[in-house]
Amino acid sequence: MSAIAGIAAEEQWELVRSALRRVCYRGSHGDVVVSKHDATLGEIHFDGVKMWLGRTGGCRAVCAGVVYNWREVAKETLDVDQALDVLYQQYGPQFVKDIDGAFAVAIAGDDGLFLARDPLGVAPLYYGERDGRLCFASEVKALLAMTNSVTEFPPGHYYHPSCGFVQFFDFPRVVDEPQNLVDAAHDLRKMLGDAVSKCVAVSDSVGCWLSGGLDSSTIAALACLHSSKLDTFAVGVAGCSDLEYARAVARHIGSRHHELLVTGDQLLRVLPEVIYHLESFDALLVRSSLTNYLLAGLASDHVRTVLSGEGGDELFAGYDYLVEIEPSRLQDELRLITLALHNTALQRVDRCSAAHGITAHVPFLDRQVIRYAFSLPVHYKLCRNGRPVGKWILRRSASSLLPPAIVERPKAKFWQGAGVLDLIAREAERAVSDADLEAEKRRNRGPLIRTKEELLYFRVFREQFGDLGECEFIGRTRVAV
């Protein structure tokens, strides 16, 4: 939970500070703004003001997010920013290939402004132009303090004026056949455990969002092995399935469990602030963010860091519609939906946590886990013998960690398990007429609005952000309803 902003022009102190003020909830210790090499860069962080020790020459770096291995790759440094500064000077833009974490980084060098974003876009980053100068920020609302030109920075890329955008990360294309499923499941559990351990190690106050589904339950069970005291958090309407399953997992792993019961009125009351923080009107994304936003608020009363199970469905074929895809095409589909996470589900995880001053980690999207998942044959993920079962290898990996009812639980989307869909559908029918929807669809300019629910959200979005044209930076959920 942090933010950066800046522009390729010197001494733009107030402009950069005005951008950071719009996302001040992402940091609690004020801003640090520097001007160097024809750029002004700023950042805010939760864990205290970074140490600027009067360095002379070289570059200046700012970073949002987390870099797990900065001490390993730049040993003689005192903080993450200085480490990135040193690495850039030594190795140039290619240094980002060796960075392990979820990050958005900007470096002002004497050869121009350098920007980079982590492989899957866990850390947000947007860019635009002001008077012909490149500017950037962690959220759209911050960038709007500098320009009305908004484009999402592509994940897994870096930018430098000398070469433009360069992709530094891609999924492995070669599928290796492990010795057998048992060994593969064992290897996956070890990699997930290592990923969870890294996340737990960067904070002394850790919890898990727990829906009672396989993904979040696996992460919570592994976190209990690496944390002496773990808090878990669940949310839903009274009687929903997520609350029941989450309780069972919490009892099994011995976590200190917290629940939040919500009503339709509560969800509608927080809708404007959810859309303000989420910066989207995509129907499925907003729907799932309503409860996630309230869940993050509950977690913020107890911990500074949470772990999320996001990414398990995309890596290991957890969605029902994937059963209909030919096995020869399944790996490509998993790649597409994983690449689409940055401005859909990962945007929800980031914005909901940041809005409440906490940091969210996604262990499933650790770079080693990603590489391993895409080296596996698809029949290890989606077992088609008899009744098709998604996330087959993950279920095998978690079989000794969780009760059988959790390991075998079918996929339930977050908003389904929390009991949200009917509440929102009724409000959309009440607030949006058939004529309203048809009129919106006939508009010559602007994004395509597909449903009454989406138009309900888009109205709120437009009230808060104005007319931003076709809103191409808005992610649209790919997975079928």
Query: Is residue 140 domain-shared with residue 223, that is, in the same domain?
Result: no
Query: What amino acid is encoded at 199 in this protein?
Result: C
HSE (side-chain half, CA atoms, 13 Å) at 246: 25
Q: Please identify, among 109, 138, 167, the residue that sits at the C-terminal boundary of a domain.
A: 167
Give the CATH number, domain containing residue 384.
Answer: 3.40.50.620
User: Is residue 273 in a domain?
Assistant: yes
pLDDT of residue 48: 38
Examine the domain organization and report whether 136 and 195 are in the same domain. no
481 part of a folded domain: no
Rounded Cα distance between 146 and 244, Å, is 47
Residue 445 inside a domain? The answer is no
- pTM equals 0.94
Whether residue 191 sits in one domain with residue 156: no
In a domain, 37, yes or no: yes
Residues 85 and 228 in one domain: no
Nearest 5°: the CA angle 223, 225, 231 is: 45
354, 238: one domain: yes
Looking at the structure, tell me whether residues 392 and 363 fall in a common domain. yes
> Do 124 and 250 sit in the same domain of this protein?
no
Which of 376, 402, 426 is at the close of a domain? 426
Interstrand relation of 359-361 and 231-236 (parallel, antiparallel or unpaired): unpaired
Whether 95 maps to a domain, the answer reads: yes
Q: Are residues 155 and 128 in the same domain?
A: yes
Task: Establish how many alpha carbons lie within 13 A of residue 251's alpha carbon, considering only the half-sphere containing its beta carbon.
Answer: 8
- The number of distinct structural domains making up the chain is 2
Distance CA(156)–CA(401), nearest Å, equals 33
Q: Are residues 109 and 139 part of one domain? A: yes
Q: Is residue 153 located within the same domain as residue 208? A: no
Q: Of 167, 199, 227, which marks where a domain is finished?
A: 167
| pLDDT, one tens digit for every residue, the chain (481 residues) | 699 999 999 999 999 999 999 999 998 766 889 998 899 999 998 653 333 333 334 468 999 999 999 888 777 777 888 899 989 989 999 999 999 999 999 999 888 999 999 999 999 999 999 999 999 999 999 999 999 999 999 999 999 999 999 999 987 765 666 668 899 999 999 999 999 999 999 888 999 999 999 999 999 999 999 988 899 999 988 888 899 999 999 999 999 999 999 988 898 999 999 999 999 999 999 999 999 999 999 999 999 999 999 999 999 999 999 999 999 999 999 999 999 999 999 999 999 999 999 999 999 999 999 999 998 989 999 987 778 899 999 999 999 999 999 999 987 655 555 556 777 888 889 999 999 999 888 776 678 898 999 999 999 999 999 989 889 999 998 754 3
Of the CA atoms within 13 Å of residue 241, those in its CB half-sphere come to 13
- With b for 16 or more beta-carbon neighbours within 10 A and e for fewer, the 436-447 pattern comes to ebeebeeeeeeb
Q: Is residue 154 part of a domain?
A: yes
Residues 305 and 251 in one domain: yes
d(CA 134, CA 48): 28
Q: Which domain holds residue 298?
A: 181-426
Give the C-alpha separation, 241 to 88, whole Å.
Answer: 49
Flag whether 447 is in a domain: no
- What is the structure's pLDDT at 60? 87
In terms of phi and psi (left: phi > 0; alpha: psi -120 to 50; beta: otherwise), the region of 11 is left
| 45 within domain boundaries | yes
Q: What is the CATH number of the domain that holds 130?
A: 3.60.20.10
Q: Phi and psi dihedrals of 236, rounded to 5? A: 170, 175
**Closest by CA position to 274, among listed 418, 116, 456, 406:** 456
Which helix (H) or strand (E) segment holds residue 225: the answer is helix 214-226
272 lies in the same domain as 416? yes
